Structure 1
Amino acid sequence: MYDYAIVGGGIVGLSTGMALAQRYPQAKLLILEKESSLAFHQTGHNSGVIHSGIYYKPGSLKAKFAKEGSRRMVEFCETHGIQHEICGKVIVATQKEELPLLDNLYQRGLANQLDVRKIDARELKEIEPYANGLQAIHVKAAGIVNYKQVAETFAAIIREQGGDIRLNSAVHRITEKGREISIESESGTYHARYLINCGGLHCDRIARLAGLRTDMKIVPFRGEYYELRPEKNYLVNNLIYPVPNPNFPFLGVHFTRMIDGHVHAGPNAVLSMKREGYKKTDFNLKDFAEVLAYPAFWKIARQNIGEGWKEIVRSFSKKVFVRNLQRLIPEVTESDVVPSQSGVRAQALTRDGSLIDDFMIVTQTRSTHILNAPSPAATASISIGESIAEQIPEPSLL
């Protein structure tokens, strides 16, 4: 019998497990991961950015956890010898109509008490010589790291504390009876006093298995990337972002120097026909049918039809994709970029057609469900895990 069972071995599940193991050293802890390795999906396909929190509404969980989490992430990496770098980023306005949006973002950064400053075109060239822009925001606290390595370190700490991590353990049934929760998985049946759902792309399905009826569904969006050829990496020093469209839930195509030296360009964002669909051809009938049968999807699609169509065109046209990149760095050409790995974002959508913007955590008597944890969840993972652990009853009270 375990005290706590966590479903999901991504960075949020592992950070929660680490927080519980450190908070209650004598507790029996289990983590179930359906893949053959940890941090395989959203964590393993992450852009590697340590976010500052500038984009998020002041007072929101995202804003709080991003600012606190980025500091904690840097401290963790320093303690455990994980390669990372606080390199800073620039958010660039390339057109006059973007200047008011840039100023709004700057004011949000100040409201979130971040170290940000407005810079002109000359100062932008000093930071990113090949970037094109009228004005920009320099965000000093942004950085880069390998989140899969971070997650593996979380797992090592859990194991050192006596926690069990079971791979190849997709969960098929959850039954609560009295003070016990039975979890049937591909690797066997396990029993626990308390369940934590960190299922990421499948968190809504895990919640339903546990008897939780929610007013949301996960809709998967694939983010497709290119990367610069190595001989063109000199075009980007660190991180170059556009001014985001405030009415669209994605940040737009940008340049990201990875911790291994590669420079990624992207992503665009298109509906994935499979919850773990990293290729255009990936298809799962159940996943796709669920999205098409969900009225809220069609509502949000109608509201964003213009931007959505641009994303689709960019997905199938390298020429159009590069044209968007050229707004930030005019020197980039089609021959300078090659396809790179894609990622899939688990976007929570409510029945009324609203995108859930903030983290969504629902607690029941014997379970806690993390139902929306998109970016900056990796940055904020240590803070998220500790916050969840603080809300869960100690073993003697289970």
Structure 2
Amino acid sequence: MADTARARSAPVAPTPHHDVVVVGGGIVGFAVLHELLAAGHTSVALVEREHTAGTHQTGRNSNVIHSGLYYAPGSLKARLAVAGCAETKEFCAEHDLPFEECGKVVAATDADELPRMAELVRRGRANGVEVHELDEAGVREREPAVAAIAGLWVPSTGICDYGAITRRLADLAVGRGAVLHTGRAVRSVARRRGDVVVRTDRGDLLAGQVVVCAGLRSDEIARASGFDPGVRIVPFRGEYSDLVGPIGESVRGLVYPVPDPAFPFLGVHATRGVDGSVHVGPNAVLALAREGYDWRTLRVRELAGTLTDPGFLTLAGRQWRYGLGEMHRSLSRSAMAAAVARMLPGVTADDLRTPHDVARRAGVRAQAIRPDGSLVDDFLFVQDGSPEDGPSVLHVLNAPSPAATAALPIGREIVARLEGKAA
């Protein structure tokens, strides 16, 4: 009885309170944390459902430092990717992290692609990106294994290791006093008059402001919090294979096709990584779960949510042929080899090596889709509440590629919005 009385009278541990809580431990979340500390916020925390940083989109991509070539002038992607291209290299150099400014060739293999390539030149130059137009011989000079009727040379494009960058950002944040809560899933956030409650599976946190950088779960958290995001995250899986043999060995840097402007995907490309290996991919197939890194990973409720979403149904009705082609390349190594061989003639299925654990070399893109079926083609940051009115929550609702490249400028942009200083 005495033990029971002592248990009942034991003090309840106070709920931790922070100036700002960041939800999501990918590179964008840690870039926000980094910029909060740089701006003078002293009580900040980050909550991540996984036990390690950068587990999903951050650690599962082609590790390309994008130049800003592709994006509509004046868009967030254009402005932040161009700035991020330089800042990512500077960060890597300052912290002794691997990177290389290897440049990129965009290869046109058909005359129908030339008008789209001309639009890339216009966009790139409008965005302040150095772009050189190449003829067939010029392409071969840059990338001897590539066959193209024309191309572009973009020297500022590079490669790095975004996982390593994220881990360094985490170390820097902890060193400056940030609190990390890993292995802790956020269920919802709730604005109140004096604070924001971050509800997790291991108790609540309180904050003055919250930034949700939850990637594949960003729309779920918004809806669970009573906030209509206006979009649905649809997971598109992209798979990569190693390119081996003489053709793979001859690839010097990055080789990209001319992208289809109807989609925010850049097409199957070849990339020489910082470790010297060459990989090709990705395709873009509907994943059967939010973290569906292979065909075996199925979560019925999540898939049903996608398949019954009006926006996705509209998109699927318009682009089912494109979707079937992507599925074919996912299921057939020969089909993937044929896509690569358009730029790198002679590549066959025997030149592609898929790791035993396929899911380790696949990523899932968190792509926002509007109710009308259109794909959100820019970064999307939506604030619930305003700094002038009290506690607010900023939802990052679309931050796929080139968000890793643009992460540091994205962090500054978000902090400026939290502080009511954004242009």
What TM-score range do you get, normalising by the shorter chain?
over 0.9
Residue 247, structure 1, aligned to residue 273, structure 2: no
Aligned to 1:114: 129
Counterpart in 2 of 1:34?
49
- 1:60-99, aligned counterparts within 5 Å? 60-99=75-114
Q: Secondary structure at the match of 2:397?
A: strand
Letter in 1 for 2:267: G
Residue 101 of structure 1, CA deviation: 1.5
Deviation, structure 1 residue 230: 6.4
What residue in structure 1 maps to residue 73 of structure 2? 58
Q: Offset of 1:388 from its aligned partner? A: 0.5
1:2-28 deviations in whole A, cap 9, x for unaligned?
111111000000000110011114x21
1:357 aligns with 2:377: yes
Contact 2:247/2:344 (<8 A) preserved: no
Q: Specify the alignment match of 1:142 in structure 2.
A: 157
Deviations 1:54-82 (A, max 9, x none): 11001100000010111111111111111
- Residue 175 of structure 1 deviates from its aligned partner by 2.9
Matched, 1:261 2:281: no
Give the aligned residue type for 1:313: H
Q: Shift in Å at residue 280 of structure 1? A: 1.2
**CA offsets 1:220-273 (integer angstroms, 9 cap, x no match):** 000011111366531311100011111233111110111111111111110001
Aligned partner of 1:24 in structure 2 is: 40
Counterpart selection for 2:397 from 371, 377, 384: 371
The match for 2:358 is none
Q: Which runs of 5+ in 1 are unaligned?
A: none
Is contact 1:348–1:355 with CA below 8 Å preserved after alignment? yes
Q: Deviations over 1:314-355 (max 9, x none)?
A: 111111111111101112121111115110000000111111
After superposition, give the CA deviation of every residue in 1:252-300 in whole Å (9 maximum; x if it has no partner).
1110111111111111110001000101111011210100110111111
| Code of the aligned partner of 1:9 | G
SS at match of 1:384: helix
Aligned counterpart, 1:160: 175
Q: Distance in 2 between matches of 1:393 and 1:316?
A: 48
Which amino acid in the other structure matches residue 107 of structure 1?
R
- The alignment partner of 2:58 has SS state of coil
Letter in 2 for 1:135: A
Q: 1:7 aligns with which of 20, 23, 30?
A: 23
Q: Which moved more, 1:2-11 or 1:310-319?
A: 310-319
Q: Distance in 2 between matches of 1:116 and 1:123?
A: 13
- Identity across aligned pairs (percent)? 40
- SS of match in other structure, 2:324: helix
Conserved? CA contact 1:359–1:372, under 8 Å = yes
- Is the partner of 2:30 in helix, strand or coil? helix
For 2:412, the equivalent position in structure 1 comes to: 386
Closer, same or farther: CA 158–29 of 1 in aligned 2, 3 Å: same
Distance in 2, matches of 1:192 and 1:245, equals 43
Q: State the distance in 1 between where 2:112 and 2:228 align.
A: 43
Q: Which runs of 5 or more residues in structure 2 are unaligned? A: 1-16, 356-360, 386-391
Partner Cα distance (1:140, 1:372) in 2: 28
Is the 1:171–1:185 contact (alpha carbons within 8 Å) kept by the matching residues of 2?
yes
Distance 1:179 1:393 in 2: 16
Residues 1:205 and 2:233 are matched in the alignment: no
Q: Does 1:229 align with 2:249?
A: no
Contact 2:104-2:154 at 8 Å conserved across structures: yes
Give the TM-score of the pair, scaled to structure 2: 0.91
AA aligned opposite 1:309: L
Tell me the SS of whatever aligns to 2:375: coil
SS at match of 1:148: helix
- Return the alpha-carbon distance in structure 2 between the equivalents of residues 216 and 114 of structure 1: 31
Shift of 1:393: 3.0
Aligned equivalent of 1:287, options 302, 318, 329:
302
CA distance, structure 2, for counterparts of residue 128 and residue 187 of structure 1? 53
Deviation at 1:176, TM superposition (A): 2.8
Q: Is the 8 A contact 2:131 2:153 kept in 1?
A: yes
Q: 1:188: how far off?
A: 2.8
| C-alpha distance in structure 2 between counterparts of 1:350 and 1:156, whole Å | 37
Deviation at 1:171, TM superposition (A): 1.0
Q: Which residue identity lines up with residue 362 of structure 1 in the other structure?
A: V
CA contact (8 A) 1:278 1:343 kept: yes
Offset from partner CA, 1:82-140 (integer Å, 9 cap, x none): 11011000000011211122112112111212111101111111111100101000001
CA distance in 1 between partners of 2:110 and 2:250 (Å): 21
2:342 aligned with 1:342:
no
Code of the residue aligned with 1:198 in structure 2: it is C
SS at match of 1:152: helix
